[in-house]
């Protein structure tokens, strides 16, 4: 059963004023060998009204922080799902061109014409660029979540092969770092040159070039622990500031909540 803040405050205050002890309150008390509970420190008389007023404020603050933490947890979960999906798609697109894939596409098959083979390569490169750009945008938009995101972003920006060579194939990098592919120019470049050029193009696009670099970045991303990706978010979710407890008493001074064990126990009960 979930109690309202007001009901919880009233019951906890009544328990404290009647001398009853909850398990949390017991942690703030020292117990003698005879079983008699004694406060660790004795201070001013406990002011129940002020205690309830302060506890109300702290409890409401705690609930606000709890809602914020829940929202942040959902955002973290959403980002990690997006991250996993984007990187897997990028890995798949790069894998089609890497590991000899570019040569298989260029060689054609099943009676495929040279034009059709070149167009297939151009289409595969465009899909790779699309998945690369999606991952790039996702990382750029979430850099503050953890140090690992920035590290992966830097690696991804360094992934493509020689830009001057790629430009000859119709592949350029925009100001934001995104890849732009001119499929018609790429297909034409693959058709217009001799076998030596085709080998050079395969090198620029395949294992030692564009696809290979992006593929290695994808593997590095998938190997990155989640706590490196969202470390800053997790620090915010589990910040000790959200768990007021006895610390709140010190923050508010000693006029109403000095070192009184019962007062600390009440706060711990309310904010548990």
Q: Is 74 domain-assigned?
A: no
Number of domains in the chain: 2
**How is residue 153 written in tokens?**
């972003």
Task: Kindly state whether residues 18 and 63 are assigned to the same domain.
Answer: yes
Answer whether 93's CB lies under 8 Å from 210's CB: no
pTM of the shown model: 0.65
Task: Kindly state whether residues 47 and 24 are assigned to the same domain.
Answer: yes
pLDDT of residue 32: 39
pLDDT of residue 14: 60
**How is residue 236 written in tokens?**
């915010």
Task: Kindly state whether residues 230 and 248 are assigned to the same domain.
Answer: no
Task: Kindly state whether residues 155 and 179 are assigned to the same domain.
Answer: yes
Give residue 209's domain range. 84-234
**How is residue 170 written in tokens?**
């119709």
Place of tokens 């167009």: 119
Task: Kindly state whether residues 88 and 201 are assigned to the same domain.
Answer: yes
Task: Kindly state whether residues 105 and 198 are assigned to the same domain.
Answer: yes
Task: Kindly state whether residues 223 and 159 are assigned to the same domain.
Answer: yes
pLDDT digits over 23-48, tens only? 544 444 444 344 444 444 444 555 66
Residues of the chain with pLDDT under 50: 1-3, 21-22, 24-43, 242-272
């Amino acid at each position: 059963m979930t109690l309202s803040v007001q009901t919880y405050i009233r019951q906890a205050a009544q328990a404290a004023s009647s001398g009853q002890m909850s398990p949390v309150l017991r942690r703030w008390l020292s117990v003698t060998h005879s079983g008699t509970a004694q406060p660790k420190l004795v201070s001013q008389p406990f002011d129940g009204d002020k205690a309830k007023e302060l506890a109300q404020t702290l409890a409401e603050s705690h609930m606000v922080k709890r809602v914020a933490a829940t929202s942040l947890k959902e955002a973290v979960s959403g980002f990690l799902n997006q991250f996993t999906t984007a990187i897997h798609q990028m890995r798949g697109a790069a894998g089609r061109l890497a590991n000899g894939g570019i040569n298989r596409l260029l060689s054609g098959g099943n009676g495929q014409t040279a034009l059709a083979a070149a167009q297939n390569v151009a289409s595969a490169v465009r899909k790779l660029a699309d998945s690369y750009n999606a991952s790039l945008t996702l990382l750029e938009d979430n850099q503050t979540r953890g140090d690992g995101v920035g590290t992966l972003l830097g690696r991804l920006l360094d992934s493509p092969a020689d830009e001057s060579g790629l430009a000859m194939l119709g592949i350029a990098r925009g100001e934001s770092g995104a890849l732009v592919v001119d499929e018609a120019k790429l297909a034409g470049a693959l058709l217009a040159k001799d076998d030596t050029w085709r080998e050079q193009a395969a090198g620029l696009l395949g294992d030692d070039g564009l696809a290979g670099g992006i593929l290695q970045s994808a593997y590095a991303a998938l190997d990155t622990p989640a706590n490196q990706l969202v470390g800053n978010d997790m620090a915010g979710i589990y910040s000790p500031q959200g768990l007021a407890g006895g610390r709140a008493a010190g923050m508010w001074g000693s006029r109403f909540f000095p070192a009184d064990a019962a007062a600390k126990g009440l706060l711990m009960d309310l904010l548990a």
